[in-house]
Each structure stands twice: as C-alpha cells, then as structure tokens.
Amino acid sequence: LQNNQVLGIGSGSTVVHAVHRLAQRVREENLSIVCIPTSFQVSAALLSSLWMLPRRDFHSRFLLLLQLDVAIDGADEVDSDLNLIKGGGGCLTQEKIVAGYAKCFIVIADYRKRSQSLGEHWKKGIPIEVIPMAYVPVSRALSRSFGGTAELRMAVSKAGPVVTDNGNFILDWKFDKVHDWSEVNTAIKMIPG
C-alpha cells in the first residue's frame, strides 16, 4: 500500500479483515488513498472507517478516469492450478469489473479455501450472475454444455431469489466432473444473459 493509490476492494469474509487493516494503515501512516468498493457490504465497512469514496460515486466513469493500482478480493475455493471459485457471497459482476481494470489483482484465501480440484471443498456450485429474464435459458445451456445442474439461488430471510447489487439473479452451477476451467470460463461468458 502506497500513498495516492486507487484500490478496488472486493467482498467476503476474508476481505473484511483486509479492510480493517487498510484503515489502520491509513490512520497510522496518514495515507491518502481512494477505495472503490464492489458491494454494499464493503461500502458499509469502508464508510465505518471514514476514508473511502462514497458509494454514490461508484460508477463506471470512475473506472475510466482512475487507473486502479490494486484490487483485493477473496475466493471461495482455490485449486492446485490456481483456478478460483468466486462469488459465493453474491458479488460477481462488480468484482470482475474492478479486478479487470486493476494493474494488480490480489486474492486473499486462507488454508481452508485450498483444494486439489475445484468442488472438493466448496459444494455450493460455481456462482454465475445472470440477467433475471435469462436465468432459465442460461441454466439449460450450462447443463447441456457441461453437465451438472444450475440452480437459482434462493434468499433465506425473504421469499424469492437472491438479487445482486446490480439487480440480477445468481445461478449456482453444480458440476459433475472435472473440466478444463479456462475453456469453461470462456464458454460461459459467451452464453447470452
């Protein structure tokens, strides 16, 4: 962390600890930094630390105007080839955008997230953010192309599906075999919706 950096901050249980440490360093070293949060959860954590870019100013125009120096995010599982499952907490698209525009992307994952192959420990499936009107055809396309099942993630404390910060739904694709993850990643991105 250096003075005058622009940081993208992802979400998740591990990143919350990183936010607290960043706040401590900003106070102790009198650093001037700009943080771009990827979710409401991180916005709230940063607001409580009183040193972030307000959520209302998080728009794509800032990604175009500001060069992000570093993006920090967590992972749900990391395999031996450093493939990641991300998005278990429901923040996918904004995390991907911020990570994509950063010069350096850092993933924080402790020993509990490590596995030999994806799906070994994380049994909830690979989260995929979808436009609400497309969740059925995307679910079918995933099963048809790669096997397994894609299930609409349902909310726990309210009726209906989980809705992301972007107003989208999340499919959790539970795959049933080992895949070439680079190939699957590219193919999923090409599915409309």
Among all residues, which ones are annotated catalytic? 95
- Tokens 């990641």, located at residue: 84
Q: What b-and-e string marks burial along 172-182, b requiring 16 or more CB atoms within 10 Å of the CB?
A: bbbbeeebebe
- CA 39 from chain centre, in angstroms, equals 9
In this structure, are residues 145 and 185 in contact, taking their beta carbons and an 8 Å threshold?
no
Separation in Å, CA 91 to CA 41, 114, 162: 9, 21, 11
Q: At CA 174, angle to CA 171 and CA 178, rounded to 5? A: 130
- Tokens 């080992």, located at residue: 178
